[in-house]
Structure 1
Amino acid sequence: MTDVPNGRDPNGRDPSGRHTLVPAFPPGMLRRLQRARLLPRSVRVLRSLRVLPRSVRARSALAAAFAAAVLFTSGALLMRHQLYDERLRATSSVAQQQVDTLLSATADSSIGGPWGAPYEIVADDGVLLASSPELEPYEKDGHAFLPGPGRGGSLPLYTRRRFTFPATAEPAARPLSGHTLTTVEGTVPASYLPGETQGRGVAAGARVRVYVLIVPDDAERAVGELDGELGVAVPVATALVAGVAWLATRRALRPVEAIRARTASVTATDPRERVEVPDTADEVAELALTINATLQRLEEAATAQRRFVADAAHELRSPLATLLAGLEVATAYPDRADWPAVVSAAGRQARRLSGLTEELLLLARLDAGAPPAPAERVDVAALAGRLVEEYAERAGGSPKVDLLVASPDAATTVSAAPGDLERILRNLLDNALRHAVGHVLLTVARDSAAPGSVLCTVRDDGVGVAEADSERIFKRFTRLDESRARTDGGTGLGLAIARDLAARHGGLLVLAVQPKGSGACFVLRLPAGNPMSIRPRP
């Protein structure tokens, strides 16, 4: 049977079948952490019952209090241990001095009292010569409680042994009753003793041993006094640390709360709010700067979206208005309407609407990060040749559309989605035909500056583009002043789509700087390797 903590089954029910608090850890995780002893027991219990505070201030104060309590308690225990050992060493030193004194007093037959530590003087066969009142309850019929020295062997001095004293109700034996104590002992020959001592039944060849007990009363009394002081000092110091941690965390989080309140007021339609950056030069200041940068991007995205919607509505409204006006006039005067011309104009506007709709849908897919079409090996020169033939036939020689393939024997194959690559070249050719005066030239060559890449250029002999507008023309719905008229079919989306598609394939589309009045030259660089994976627009 599986061991389930707290008597609950894995579904969080107690033995009665009622639902109780579900542990915050996944099933089995808490038990594994407990077995690995990675969490203190108190923290494990609080965590499993979900009673830990949710406030950062409270958690910080609790963590600081826990760490301070561990630190202060460890220090207190170390201090207590050192004090106990120090006092016990002092008592041991006093006991050793008392052994010397008692040996001298025994030899001079001048044992008196009182003495500082309990003692017992024992001859061979356990004959009791003298003792302190504390040992009297353990001595029976003139025999000592502690063992005699025995005959033969060396005469040890200052040796230590431990003896356990049975519990007794005698008041005099209270310091010894039920304790295991260390003795300091010294042994001398009976010949050192005076004649009257030998007359008490101690043979001339016997030995006498002096025992002095090391009683830790002084050490325990000192430790007890220290415990009383530490019992107050440790909780007070722990509470002080917790309070300081609470106040410090509260002060540190005050800018975060201000950031949260200001950020909560930001809406998607009006992200103009900015949070105040504290002058602390710390992580909170970095957070404020990051949030402001995010809000700036959000505002730019919202502005671009509003502008996009407005431009799209304007672009759609123009052909719709033209189509509707033509149909209304023809319907109002059916006898005088030139119906073939009306149908032709309606078809032209419908095709314009269809093209604009397709471009808007393509932009939406690009913005959403739709997966690219499967890549294939595409011969750019062959594709360019087919498109040049198509556009030359459509233009009817005005303007003239030509293709130039540098080094025809060199490979111009790239890995790309054929439809995307054709859309890029078509958009560039459409733009060139709208602005060319008499000539459009499409060039395909290997890129000497980037081995393995293919370079395409599309030139026209129109008025060209000012250097200041070299990046602006790639923005959506952008038309330069000379091409504002919408009767030529331009939507202002072709170059934006072409650049996005080129970027999807790891390529680059730019406008080359040309002398004023020498037309425009668009440069497309495509890598020969696999296209880059598509990413959503930021």
Structure 2
Amino acid sequence: MRPRSVRARAALAAASVTAVALACVGWWVHRDVHQEGMRIAEEKAETQLRSLADQLDQGVVPLSKGADAPYEVVATGRRAALSYGGGMEEFRPGSRHVLPSPTDALHSGVLATRPLRIPVRRDSTGDRLGMAGHTYLVMFTDVGAGRLGRAKAAALGLTTGAHIRVYVVVLPRTADTLTEVTNPLLLRAGLLTLVLTAAIVYVAVLLVLRPVEAIRRLTASVTPNDPRERVTVPATGHEITALATTLNTTLQRLDDAAARQRRFVADAAHELRSPLTTLLASLEVALAYPERTDWPAAATTAARQTRRLQALAEDLLLLARLDTRAPVAAPETVDLTALASRLTEQYPLDGRPLTLACDSDAPAYVRGDPDAYERLLRNLLDNAARHAAHRIQVTLRNQDDRVVLTVHDDGPGVPPEDAERIFERFVRLDDARSRDQGGTGLGLAIARDLAHRHGGTLTLTPRTLGACFELRLPRAPAKA
């Protein structure tokens, strides 16, 4: 089953929310309309009740003609109703009243309301209003039999102390009629609103997502080898603008990464070509003139170039591993002071007039890979030894939550404008220097990557004489 689009899901969600809201509004309107209908019915019943009571007060027994609502007039001590109409005649109240006769009298002019059940009468001639067996709100008031006059009361079989009660049944016909008219209108209006809401949301989301679709089409055409395409940033200032800006930034980073990769491959090929060319040339000359070849010297040259190839290959493999950004496996607590002291004592000077010194005020513990720390320090020492005139100074100190190591040589130093470029791969500041003397150009890049991998930093700090590299690493607690 194909998943719904964002437009369809948004329209469905909007329609669902609208349906719930319309249901609540419809129920509220239905309730209010029904209540208003009942209020109108009660007002009509009250008007009719007062009219009937006024007639009794004037000594007139009301007639059933023109009654809007069912009514019945009953009296104490009398079995049959005095008067009835509006539908009550179908229950034959002339033989026996339908509603109960008064047991206690109300004060004159007082109207009361209570629910009463209309009984089912077997002798009923019909029930066109469907009242039998149902409970309705009934309004009633009492009138003294003396209001009819002694003679009329006696003719009706009433004593002068009898009470006459007038009942008017409040039928919900008005409320039912109003709701029957209103409900279809509410249903049609609700369905129309539902459809319009879904359509409007669908079109609105379609318009809003149009830039997203353009972004999707463009990103689908981007390849890792050619991420130069850019997304048009809409000038709306909303989230789509932020998305397009972020995507362009990502594409730029991909483009930069691809450019760095191409440059890295080109530089690596260039670096490999130099020792290979030297090695191949020396071997071809030796093979072309074997009798005049100094074979020990040729072997020495070949071994030296092979070692350079091996070192370059190892550096390239290490950089490839560092580029994966994998966490340090099984980190250990390392005493950087002890490691630096050992490396400075064992560093091969090959007869050069250099002095290596290591100063530290206390053990400096860090967490990480011991081999990686040794490689980092060795690269810094190799770089310093390559440029130092007479002395290399290694200093360690504990500074708050950091371990700070500096390697300072008394060489020619580094121009301020090259303070960051020197950490790039295959960078040699002395262009006139041969590759045999200048190294692979990867040592400082590897050292900085190793520092970053261990949560530290490696920077070149300004000095009036020589170059000073400062390594900062998170300090670790001492070994237990």
TM-score > 0.5, shorter chain as reference: yes
Higher RCO (CA 8 Å, separation ≥ 6 residues): 2
1:284-339, CA deviations, whole angstroms, 9 ceiling, x for partnerless residues?
Answer: 11111111111111111111111111211222222122222222222233222221
Q: Residue 456 of structure 2 corresponds to which residue in structure 1?
A: 507
The one-letter amino acid paired with 1:509 is: L
1:247-274, CA deviations, whole angstroms, 9 ceiling, x for partnerless residues?
Answer: 2111111111111111111111111111
1:475 counterpart = 2:424? yes
Q: Residue 183 of structure 1 corresponds to which residue in structure 2?
A: 138
- Of 393, 397, 401, the residue aligned with 1:442 is 393
For residue 418 of structure 1, report the CA deviation from its aligned partner.
Answer: 2.4
Matches within 5 A, 1:128-527: 128-139=81-92, 142-150=95-103, 157-164=111-118, 166=120, 173-174=128-129, 176-177=131-132, 179-194=134-149, 195-372=151-328, 374-391=330-347, 393-396=348-351, 398-405=352-359, 407=361, 410-436=362-388, 438-447=389-398, 450-451=399-400, 453-482=402-431, 484-488=433-437, 490-515=439-464, 518-527=465-474
Q: SS where residue 487 of structure 1 aligns?
A: helix
1:480-527, CA deviations, whole angstroms, 9 ceiling, x for partnerless residues?
Answer: 144552122611110011111122233321112233xx3222222334
Do 1:126 and 1:147's aligned partners in 2 also have CA atoms closer than 8 Å? no
Looking at structure 2, the residues matched to 406 and 388 of structure 1 have their Cα atoms a distance apart, in angstroms, of 13
Q: Residue 79 of structure 1 corresponds to which residue in structure 2?
A: 29
Do 1:427 and 1:495's aligned partners in 2 also have CA atoms closer than 8 Å? yes
The alpha-carbon distance between structure 1 residues 164 and 382, as it changes in their structure 2 partners (threshold 3 A), is same
Looking at structure 2, the residues matched to 463 and 188 of structure 1 have their Cα atoms a distance apart, in angstroms, of 125
Q: SS where residue 437 of structure 2 aligns?
A: coil
Do 2:56 and 2:143's aligned partners in 1 also have CA atoms closer than 8 Å? no
The alpha-carbon distance between structure 1 residues 377 and 239, as it changes in their structure 2 partners (threshold 3 A), is closer
Looking at structure 1, the residues matched to 329 and 88 of structure 2 have their Cα atoms a distance apart, in angstroms, of 102
Q: SS where residue 120 of structure 1 aligns?
A: strand
Deviating more after overlay: 160-169 vs 342-351: 160-169
The one-letter amino acid paired with 1:58 is: A
Looking at structure 1, the residues matched to 180 and 408 of structure 2 have their Cα atoms a distance apart, in angstroms, of 98
Q: SS where residue 90 of structure 1 aligns?
A: helix
The alpha-carbon distance between structure 1 residues 414 and 196, as it changes in their structure 2 partners (threshold 3 A), is closer
The one-letter amino acid paired with 2:18 is: A
Deviating more after overlay: 493-502 vs 520-529: 520-529
Structure 1 unaligned runs (5+)?
Answer: 1-49, 532-538
1:427-463, CA deviations, whole angstroms, 9 ceiling, x for partnerless residues?
Answer: 1121122223x3131222325xx23544333233332
Looking at structure 1, the residues matched to 206 and 367 of structure 2 have their Cα atoms a distance apart, in angstroms, of 58
Do 1:190 and 1:198's aligned partners in 2 also have CA atoms closer than 8 Å? no
- Of 47, 55, 75, the residue aligned with 1:123 is 75
Looking at structure 1, the residues matched to 156 and 121 of structure 2 have their Cα atoms a distance apart, in angstroms, of 31
Do 2:381 and 2:407's aligned partners in 1 also have CA atoms closer than 8 Å? yes
The one-letter amino acid paired with 1:213 is: V
Do 2:337 and 2:360's aligned partners in 1 also have CA atoms closer than 8 Å? no
The one-letter amino acid paired with 1:510 is: T
Looking at structure 1, the residues matched to 8 and 368 of structure 2 have their Cα atoms a distance apart, in angstroms, of 57
The one-letter amino acid paired with 1:403 is: A
Q: SS where residue 91 of structure 1 aligns?
A: helix
Q: SS where residue 441 of structure 2 aligns?
A: coil
Q: SS where residue 292 of structure 2 aligns?
A: coil
Looking at structure 2, the residues matched to 262 and 484 of structure 1 have their Cα atoms a distance apart, in angstroms, of 47
Q: Residue 5 of structure 1 corresponds to which residue in structure 2?
A: none
Looking at structure 1, the residues matched to 335 and 24 of structure 2 have their Cα atoms a distance apart, in angstroms, of 77
The alpha-carbon distance between structure 1 residues 253 and 139, as it changes in their structure 2 partners (threshold 3 A), is same
Looking at structure 2, the residues matched to 160 and 373 of structure 1 have their Cα atoms a distance apart, in angstroms, of 86
Looking at structure 2, the residues matched to 373 and 201 of structure 1 have their Cα atoms a distance apart, in angstroms, of 113
The one-letter amino acid paired with 1:186 is: T
For residue 153 of structure 1, report the CA deviation from its aligned partner.
Answer: 5.8
The alpha-carbon distance between structure 1 residues 530 and 126, as it changes in their structure 2 partners (threshold 3 A), is farther
Looking at structure 2, the residues matched to 314 and 137 of structure 1 have their Cα atoms a distance apart, in angstroms, of 115
The alpha-carbon distance between structure 1 residues 418 and 488, as it changes in their structure 2 partners (threshold 3 A), is same
Q: Residue 529 of structure 1 corresponds to which residue in structure 2?
A: 476
Do 2:116 and 2:136's aligned partners in 1 also have CA atoms closer than 8 Å? yes
Matches within 5 A, 1:85-100: 85-100=35-50
Do 1:375 and 1:530's aligned partners in 2 also have CA atoms closer than 8 Å? no
For residue 356 of structure 1, report the CA deviation from its aligned partner.
Answer: 1.0
The alpha-carbon distance between structure 1 residues 93 and 285, as it changes in their structure 2 partners (threshold 3 A), is same
Structure 2 unaligned runs (5+)?
Answer: none
The alpha-carbon distance between structure 1 residues 187 and 484, as it changes in their structure 2 partners (threshold 3 A), is farther
Do 1:413 and 1:528's aligned partners in 2 also have CA atoms closer than 8 Å? yes
Looking at structure 2, the residues matched to 425 and 161 of structure 1 have their Cα atoms a distance apart, in angstroms, of 99
For residue 65 of structure 1, report the CA deviation from its aligned partner.
Answer: 1.7
For residue 129 of structure 1, report the CA deviation from its aligned partner.
Answer: 0.9
Matches within 5 A, 1:16-27: none
Looking at structure 2, the residues matched to 297 and 400 of structure 1 have their Cα atoms a distance apart, in angstroms, of 44
1:193-236, CA deviations, whole angstroms, 9 ceiling, x for partnerless residues?
Answer: 23224313233433221111111212211222222322322211
Do 1:512 and 1:523's aligned partners in 2 also have CA atoms closer than 8 Å? yes
The alpha-carbon distance between structure 1 residues 440 and 165, as it changes in their structure 2 partners (threshold 3 A), is farther
Do 2:118 and 2:135's aligned partners in 1 also have CA atoms closer than 8 Å? yes
Give the number of equivalent residue pairs: 471
Looking at structure 2, the residues matched to 431 and 62 of structure 1 have their Cα atoms a distance apart, in angstroms, of 66
Looking at structure 1, the residues matched to 25 and 420 of structure 2 have their Cα atoms a distance apart, in angstroms, of 69
The one-letter amino acid paired with 1:460 is: D
Looking at structure 2, the residues matched to 172 and 373 of structure 1 have their Cα atoms a distance apart, in angstroms, of 93
The one-letter amino acid paired with 2:44 is: V
Looking at structure 1, the residues matched to 130 and 26 of structure 2 have their Cα atoms a distance apart, in angstroms, of 26
Do 2:153 and 2:159's aligned partners in 1 also have CA atoms closer than 8 Å? no
Looking at structure 2, the residues matched to 57 and 452 of structure 1 have their Cα atoms a distance apart, in angstroms, of 53
For residue 162 of structure 1, report the CA deviation from its aligned partner.
Answer: 2.2
Looking at structure 2, the residues matched to 296 and 353 of structure 1 have their Cα atoms a distance apart, in angstroms, of 34
For residue 189 of structure 1, report the CA deviation from its aligned partner.
Answer: 2.8
- Identity, in percent, stands at 46
Looking at structure 2, the residues matched to 97 and 341 of structure 1 have their Cα atoms a distance apart, in angstroms, of 132
Do 2:402 and 2:474's aligned partners in 1 also have CA atoms closer than 8 Å? yes
Do 1:440 and 1:458's aligned partners in 2 also have CA atoms closer than 8 Å? no
The alpha-carbon distance between structure 1 residues 292 and 342, as it changes in their structure 2 partners (threshold 3 A), is same
